[in-house]
Amino acid sequence: MRKLLLYLIIITTGIVFVARLFYLQIYNTSFASLSEDNAIKVIYDYPQRGAIYDRNGRLLVTNQPSYDVMVIPRELKPFDTLEFCSILNISKDKLIKRLKKARVYSPRVPSIVIPQLTKDEYAYLQEKMRKFEGFYIQKRSLRDYQTVNAANVLGYIGEVNERLIKEDPYYLSGDLIGIDGVEKQYENELRGIKGVKRIQKDRFNRDIGPYKNRKFDTLPVNGKDLTLTLDSKLQAYGQKLMQNKRGGIVALEPSTGEILALVTAPTYKPELLVGRKRSPNFTKLVYDTIAIPLFDRGLKAEYPPGSPFKTVNALIALQEGVIDTNESVSCRMGYYYGKNGRKLGCHSHRSPLNMIPGIANSCNAYFATVYRRIIEKYDTPQEGMENWRKHVESFGLGNYLGYDLPTGKRGKVPTAKYYNKIYQYPTYKWYASATLSNAIGQGEVLSTPIQLANMTAAIANRGHYFTPHIIKAIDGKPIENENYTIPKVTTINKEHFEPVIEGMYQVYTQGTARSLQVEGIEICGKTGTAENFTKIDGKKTQLTDHSVFVAFAPKDNPKIAIAVFVENGYWGARYAGKIASLMIEQHINGVVSRTDLEDWILAHSLEEEYAKPYSGEPFKINQ
Amino acid sequence: MARSSVAAIDWVTVLLFLLLVGFGWVNIYSASSENEAFSLADFSHAYVRQAYWILFSIVLIIITQAIEAKFYERFAGLIYVISLLSLLGLFVFGKNINGATSWYQIGPAGLQPSEFAKACTALALAKFLSDMQTNIKLLGYQVRAFLIIAIPAIFIIPQPDPGSALVYAAFFFPLYREGLATIYLIVGASAAGLFILTLLFNPIWVVLVVAAVMLFILIRNRKRKPKYSRYLLTIIVVAGFCFSVNYIFNHVFEQRHRDRFNIVLGKEVDSKGIGYNTNQSQIAIGSGGWVGKGFREGTQTKGGFVPEQRTDYIFSTVGEEWGFLGATMIIILFVLLLIRLIHLAERQKSQFSRVYGYSVVGILFIHFTINIGMVTGLMPTIGIPLPFFSYGGSSLWGFTILLFIFIKLDANRVNEW
């Protein structure tokens, strides 16, 4: 009996120990990771970020070295703060604050104390660095811009934020990541893969050789080079033309959907957002809430499309068979409808007109008639509306296009539900006439410049479009993404496009853009003058119309489709038409012959117009 | 040495001994070698010195086997007195290493007499208990047995080496086997339990709970006319014990002792200061996983993160480099050795041999329990070596002599009448 108790004590002790070992070694995995932190130092080798080229192989973005002063808080030894601060030109308070923050982030993972030193600062500091234990210098690469243009397309890189660090274990504090534009969209391709070196350390934190004979070490993989669809010359020319104006230009290649130019105005130089200058410059750009230079108008500004939208209505009408190309509609300075003789105004032109001159002269009465027929073809306006919307959306309007840039807007194509709601259906009824402004691209319809350019490309292609995209090749290999290589087909039959295109051609030959012809190039276009409003002291106030223009050229085998918005530029041919015409000439001929036109655009500023709503005084519009 | 007694040597025990010593040396090698080539000529390496200690322990084994078995019984008293003198001599001739005066410096080597005193005490206790007149059930003999055990412990405490002194609790094993009343076991276990409870909770609550339990038992037993005074006395003793533990812990213990207990009881978390050893040792063991990182591949062992890793914390190397399987194997080897030794002790015809055998079991068991308990974070930091495993000549020789005297006694049992 007594013997048994002693056996029992010994065996129980053995079992308890084995259980404890099981807990420590198998069940609780935190000890294993602690040992990694303890004994193994990980050193990262940062790869070169991929370069960015334009479609013609011109280098746009490359890299320059930069040096970050890093700290590992637990390895800090007391040091001469005064000397440290004077070398790095930083105040003592700031240093203490940053060291504290680094310690909060992690005592053993490195944090940045001073980011992005220049080469000269680095050369000086490198000799002194030995004195400051716990600090070291991490080489990284910053962007080096070979262009002053296309900041909105290229985007920029910056330090990764804490939320992302938590989401994606690849990133460590201080790593750089694409924040906007192509840099963000193609971050995974551009960044490459960090190399890792593991070093065995002893308890005094000294290196005692590579860990496991470098079995777990990896070499860095350089980022991939990108070739964009952008034509940097055309882009530069577009930005030049847009100076002192606000708005956007989007130029596409209809046969591929490639973005040739994506201009937003006003904009900034990409080099402003590099390195240590980034933060103050960024703040300046962010706080310009009037011109909003960081806002990519080409992708994000939702404008009423105005008259260019009439081309789509003409196509739908032909597809639905509600009018043919011969039927004329009379216009008495407008279209009269409703019980009280309400009028949708038009400008003076000969009357009556059939479809082709209707487009060329942008007759509102013609398109109001056509639009009503489209909606009223069905028993209820709701059905008619939904049918119309289906056609419109097939041109890529009213939703995200699916292009490869990280920002965008949906635009708007109203639904029957939308009108049911605002007219409180079924308590009250609504009819086609209530939505008549859709006929001329005003009112509820909204589109972004890129959507409008895409719509133009779909017309130029006679019924299909390729999703616009900015990427042409990755590491020299052309893209194969089906989203960009398989065409999206509109709901309009091919044969209906010819009369509409003929109308757009006549816009140039005898219509609203007569003065903007380019010798030797058959351009098809459509002017637009979009009414717009703002709120001043809470009161809806009308501003000078937006100048809108869409065009493609040449008429057969089109090489370029373009949409231009100039905010408050008044009528379509006044600014947007001229700019579109110059852009087309530049792209197709490579040179601009009409220097007088070019000079006019460069000399004219709209800044005065933009100042009006902020003047606090009553002002006149459409002058 | 009679031929028959060589044949009667218990080779199972010898095999277990060799496995432990051999595997121990492998781990000492891992924990003390740097990246240079293996060499047995360079005495600056701990693994080289340990290899020679092991060789010398074989000499000691031969000597213990060569000596007539009767010698140990006959001269037990003398051996005991000599060991006491060697402990006392430390106060005069001892060399201070790491704050403890536990060593004699003999040439280049240090000898730690407390490692040998355990075997000597075991012999003395065996001799005393096997005396025809001794009856352990009588209080007078209990006191004398207690003194035989306590005197070397008392000599060791002020070195200071309270860990080694604590080992003398091991003699509970033979005393219990030889008929010490179970009440001592109950009182001892209760005292240990109350000790821990008092540290964890306010002593007032502990006393109140004990009183409540007592009252409950009393009410249940009231028909059998219980002696109320006994219940009252128990409560008073418990209260006295709890409050004095509380007082001693807070006022007599030094802060470092308090910290050691508090860390194990989870009342304090401290991985940098006093808790560093235990924490690093757990990290090393925990990082081993199922099969470990492999021989000489332990990152914690290589980096020297675990203090005293070659000596008291050698088991952490096993855990890191050989994983759960290796560490469990060592536990099993120790358990097998202890069970084997109880089995051997039980088959002894002479009471002397049996008492000595149980003493060996007790000493090995308490070292094993306290050491592994400490390294795995189950017990407070009490620095005593893992038998046969830890680095150190005195410790290895002490355990070797302790074990092989018993093997000699066991082998000789056939010659007794």
* pLDDT beyond 70 at B237: yes
In terms of residue numbers, what domain contains A395? 232-614
Task: Summarize the confidence of residues A425-441 as an average pLDDT.
Answer: 86
* Residue B153 placed within a domain: yes
Residues A154 and A208 in one domain: yes
**Nearest-by-Cβ selection for A21 from B324, B338, B339:** B324
- Among B252, B286, B306, the domain-final residue is B252
pLDDT of residue B36: 62
Q: Give the confidence band of A215 by pLDDT, cuts at 50, 70, 90.
A: low
The pLDDT of residue A169 = 79
Range of the domain at B375: 3-177+269-415
Structure tokens given for A220: 């860095």
Q: For residue B96, is it within any domain? A: yes
Based on the domain organization, do A168 and A131 belong to the same domain? Answer: yes
Answer yes or no: do B120 and B228 share one domain: no
> Do A24 and B285 lie within an 8 Å CB cutoff?
yes
Quote the pLDDT of residue B327: 95
Q: Is the pLDDT of residue B417 over 70?
A: no
Query: Band of the pLDDT at A163, cuts 50, 70, 90?
Result: confident
Q: Which residues in chain B touch residue A11, judged by CB atoms under 8 angstroms apart?
A: 335, 339
Tell me, yes or no, whether B201 and B277 share the same domain. no
The answer to whether position A508 is within a domain reads: yes
pLDDT in tens, A583-592: 999 999 998 9
Evaluate if residue A312 carries a pLDDT over 90: yes
**Closest-CA residue to A17 (of B281, B190, B371, B309):** B371
pLDDT at residue B335 above 90? yes
The predicted pLDDT at position B380 comes to 81
Same-domain pairing of B29 and B148: yes
Overall domain count for chain A? 2
Question: Which of A178, A213, A228 is a domain's end point?
Answer: A228
Inter-chain residue contact A20 with B283, CB threshold 8 Å? no
Say yes or no: A223 and A260 in one domain: no
Query: Cβ of A25 under 8 Å from any chain B Cβ?
Result: yes
- The answer to whether the CB of A288 falls within 8 A of the CB of A272 is no
User: Which residue of B184, B295, B302, B337 to mutate against A (max A Cβ within 10 Å)?
Assistant: B302
Give residues 317 to 346 of B whose Cβ lies within 8 Å of A: 319-320, 323-324, 327-328, 331-332, 334-335, 338-339, 342, 346
Q: Are residues A265 and A206 in the same domain?
A: no
Q: Which residue has the tokens 């500023």?
A: A605
Last residue of a domain, one of B191, B219, B252: B252
Tell me which of A143 and B106 has the higher pLDDT: A143
Q: Are residues A519 and A414 in the same domain?
A: yes
Are B154 and B300 members of one domain? yes
Model confidence at B268, pLDDT cuts 50, 70, 90, reads: low
In a domain, A476, yes or no: yes
Asked if the structure places residue A5 within a domain, the reply is no
On whether both B241 and B387 belong to a single domain, the answer is no
Is the per-residue pLDDT at B263 higher than 70? no
Confidence at residue A37, expressed as pLDDT on a 0 to 100 scale: 61
Give A270: exposed, middle or buried? Use CB within 10 Å, 0-12, 13-18, 19+: buried
Q: Which residues contact B72 (CB under 8 A, 6 or more apart)?
A: B79, B123, B356, B405, B408, B409
pLDDT value, residue A523? 92
Q: A252 with A160, same domain?
A: no
Average pLDDT over residues A234-239: 95
**Residue B386 forms part of a structural domain:** yes
- Interface contact flag, A10 B376, Cβ < 8 Å: no
Residue with more model confidence, B337 or A114: B337
Within 8 A of A214 by CB-CB distance, chain B residues are none
pLDDT digits (tens, 9 = 90+) for A90-136: 888 888 898 888 888 777 778 888 887 777 778 877 778 778 888 88
Whether ipTM tops 0.85, in short, is yes
Interface of B with A in 369-398 (CB under 8 A): 369, 372-373, 376-378
Select from A1, A6, A208 the residue whose CB has the most chain B CBs within 10 Å, as the one to mutate to test that interface: A6
Domain boundary among B222, B252, B282: B252
How high is the pLDDT of residue B4?
57
Residue among B177, B283, B323 whose CB faces A34 most closely: B283
| Residue B212 sits in the same domain as residue B279 | no
Domain-located, residue A16:
no
One domain for residues B206 and B167: no
- Residues B305, B342 share a domain: yes
Please give the C-alpha separations between residue B3 and each of A503, A526, B410, in angstroms, as whole numbers.
124, 120, 14
The per-residue pLDDT of chain B, averaged, comes to: 86
CB pairs under 8 A between A and B: 119
Q: How far is B31 from chain A (nearest CA, A)?
A: 12
User: Is residue B257 domain-resident?
Assistant: no
Q: Please report the pLDDT score of residue B267 as a whole number.
A: 59
Mean pLDDT of B223-235: 81
Residues A415 and A549 in one domain: yes
What is the overall mean pLDDT for chain A? 87
B49, part of any domain: yes
Same domain, B298 and B344: yes
Identity of the amino acid at B55: L
Is pTM, for the whole model, over 0.80? no
Domain identity same for B89 and B127: yes
**Are residue A109 and residue A179 in the same domain, yes or no?**
yes
Residue B102 near chain A (CB below 8 Å): no
Q: Is residue B136 part of a domain?
A: yes
How confident is the model over A522-581, as pLDDT tens digits?
999 998 888 888 887 788 888 888 899 999 989 999 999 999 999 998 888 889 999 999
Residue A438 has pLDDT above 50, yes or no: yes
Mean pLDDT across the stretch A41-70?
88
pLDDT at B135: 84
According to DSSP, the residues that pair with B42 across neighbouring strands are none
Q: Are residues A100 and A206 in the same domain?
A: yes
Residue B33 CA to residue B31 CA, distance in Å, equals 6
Provide the pLDDT for residue B1: 44
The whole-angstrom separation of Cα B280 and Cα B271 is 8
Name, of A267-281, A595-609, B87-101, B151-165, the range with top average pLDDT: A595-609
Q: Is the CB of B24 inside 8 Å of chain A's CB atoms?
A: no
State the average pLDDT over residues A272-291. Answer: 83
Q: Is residue A17 part of a domain?
A: no
A282 within a domain of the structure (yes/no)? yes
Taking the C-alpha atoms of residue A54 and residue A146, their distance in angstroms, rounded to an integer, is 11
Mutate to test the interface with B, among A8, A9, A10 (most CBs of B within 10 A): A10
The answer on A257 and A173 residing in a single domain is: no
Tell me what percent of the residues of chain A surpass a pLDDT of 90. 41
Interface of B with A in 154-193 (CB under 8 A): 173, 176-177
Q: How many domains does chain B have?
A: 2
With 50 as the cut, is the pLDDT of residue A269 above it?
Answer: yes
Helices B113-129, B393-411: axis angle to 10 degrees equals: 30
Quick check: is A31 in a domain? no
Q: Which of B173, B299, B331 sits opposite A18 (nearest CB)?
A: B331
Q: Do B327 and A25 touch (CB under 8 A)?
A: yes
If asked whether residues A220 and A249 sit together in one domain, one would say: no
Give the three-class secondary structure for A412: strand
Q: Give yes or no: residues B131 and B215 share one domain.
A: no
Q: What is the mean pLDDT of residues A353-370?
A: 91
- Residues A152 and A242 both lie in one domain: no
Instruction: Indicate whether A12 belongs to any domain.
Output: no
CA distance B378 to chain A (A): 8
B404 with B332, same domain: the answer is yes
Residue B379 lies in a domain: yes
Structure tokens at A567: 């905010």
CATH of the domain at A59: 3.90.1310.10
Is B304 in the A-facing interface, judged by CB distances under 8 Å? yes
Is the pLDDT confidence value at A70 over 80? Answer: yes
Contact flag A14-B335 (C-beta cutoff 8 Å): yes
CATH number where A564 lies:
3.40.710.10
Angle at which helices A310-320 and A364-376 pack, to 10 degrees? Answer: 40
Residue B264 lies in a domain: no
CA distance B296 to A213: 13
Tell me what the mean pLDDT of segment B118-123 comes to.
95
